[in-house]
Amino acid sequence: MSSIADWATPNPVTENRSGLIGKAVDRYEGPLKVTGTAPYAYEVEAPSPPVQGAIVTSAIARGRVAAIDTAEAEASPGVLLVWTHKTIPAQGARGARINPRSQRPSSPVMDSDEVRYFGETVAFVVADTLENARAAAALIKVTYDELWAVVDFPASLGLAENPPGEEDVRIGDFETAFAAAPVTLDETYTSPIQNHVQMEPCATTAWWDGDKVTVHTSIQMVKGGQHALAETLMIPSDDVHLLTRYIGGGFGGKGQSYDDLSLAALAARELKRPVKVAYTRQQMMLGTIHRPATIQRVRLGATPDGRLT
């Protein structure tokens, strides 16, 4: 029987069998990125001239859309499509899974008049150019029934509760041991909200070939994005071809897909032509996930030589 020492001793026969450890490895996409020739999701060349989408996001943190006036936007130059929660095509029910072994459920866009967070999509415009799409989007007038929202983290700690099925764990008699410890530490550490601030915003270029959709999108978890889009569109996963060749920064903030993916695919199907959709820099700060603020209290009891009690 081998001893622990035997396992810890490097074996010259099996060590670094690929010969790559310790060697510099060229990144094939490096020159493409630094020369500006790597096609990111929004820059992918579509099979035919694409049209451009612009997202309108909520101006409140919680409530409902009481009224929305899109008349001026619809009459604006170059506009091809204007959607709200009343006019967007049918999508899979939120959380639904119809495909076997689906990794992500349906995540419909504007599936109701409810506003769940500041920066949520409340309207969408597609036009012949990005300038026309954004100009039309700015003409949409939204009236809200605003509700109270939890936005102050430290002030709202009293509202905290454990998620279903989870509970705090206590092992031993901490209070007695802490009181008797010769050395104690009782500190509270905080961290603020942090946005990922990727160089490349979340963006998608989409087109259809019959019943199959091709989407180039900026996402880190490719299979999850494919499945989420299939569930949202209510089509088989095999009919979604999702590609993400280059990502201009992710940091976990692109681990999931966002409304740009679904809206581009839905609009491309509706208009029967390629559609490009990208979040603005401001919308990236609001409509995508972030690293939440934290408050952590740490208490330790120890002996003078550092042994935790």
Torsion of the alpha carbons at 12, 17, 22 and 27, rounded to the nearest 10: 180
Mean of the pLDDT values across residues 105-119? 97
Question: Residue 89 belongs to what domain range?
Answer: 41-148+196-287
Give every CB contact of residue 190 below 8 A, 6+ residues apart in sequence.
293, 294, 295, 296
Length of the chain counted residue by residue: 309
Mean of the pLDDT values across residues 31-42? 93
Q: What is the mean pLDDT of the chain?
A: 94
Tally of domains in the chain: 1
Does residue 90 lie within any of the structural domains? yes
pLDDT of res. 10: 58
Does residue 61 lie within any of the structural domains? yes
Find the range with the poorest average confidence among 24-28, 92-96, 102-106, 222-226: 24-28
Q: pLDDT tens, 80-96?
A: 999 999 999 999 999 99
Does residue 29 lie within any of the structural domains? no
Q: Using CA atoms, how far apart are residues 98 and 237, in angstroms rounded to an integer? A: 10
Does residue 155 lie within any of the structural domains? no
CATH number at residue 61: 3.30.365.10
Mean of the pLDDT values across residues 285-291? 93
Q: Which of 269, 253, 231 is nearest to 89 (CA)?
A: 269
Q: Using CA atoms, how far apart are residues 41 and 261, in angstroms rounded to an integer? A: 11
Does residue 297 lie within any of the structural domains? no
0.85 cut: is pTM over it?
yes
Q: pLDDT tens, 73-83?
A: 999 999 999 99
Residue 18 has pLDDT above 70, yes or no: yes
Residue 2 has pLDDT above 60, yes or no: no
Does residue 30 lie within any of the structural domains? no
Does residue 82 lie within any of the structural domains? yes
Strands 79-83 and 121-127: antiparallel
Q: Using CA atoms, how far apart are residues 115 and 137, in angstroms rounded to an integer? A: 18
Does residue 235 lie within any of the structural domains? yes
pLDDT of res. 27: 82
Q: Which of 260, 252, 300 is nearest to 276 (CA)?
A: 260
Mean of the pLDDT values across residues 180-188? 98
Q: Using CA atoms, how far apart are residues 306 and 301, in angstroms rounded to an integer? A: 9
Which residues are registered as beta bridge partners of 125? 54, 82
Q: Which of 154, 194, 150 is nearest to 297 (CA)?
A: 154
Residue 9 has pLDDT above 70, yes or no: no
